[in-house]
Amino acid sequence: MLLFDCGCIAFAITRPDPAGKEGEEHLLLYACDSRDEPALGVYWRKMHGKAHTELDRARAEELLTELGQLAADGQRYRELRALLRIP
């Protein structure tokens, strides 16, 4: 995982810009400026030209554990809605 100087955290995975513009997008796990999107999530963002370093293993494990817990909570929520027959 990569820690960008701005505070964003991303996987070391990129894809070409879907709009065909120059540069690539990184697969973000944590956004430093999370006004419109949750801070922790998985989404693509252009990080072209931003300096970064390798994220330390302990912090990476914390984020992945938190992401796993959010996914499990969502699954339990869906199961509860199904039991209560809530559409």
Beta carbons of 67 and 29 less than 8 angstroms apart: yes
pLDDT in tens, 52-61: 999 999 999 9
Which residues are paired to 47 by β-bridges?
none
Name 29's Cβ contacts closer than 8 Å, sequence gap at least 6: 1, 9, 10, 11, 40, 41, 42, 63, 67
Structural domain of 73: 2-83
- Quote the number of domains for the chain: 1
Residue-wise pLDDT tens digits, 12-69 = 889 998 888 888 899 998 888 877 666 788 889 999 889 999 999 999 999 889 888 8
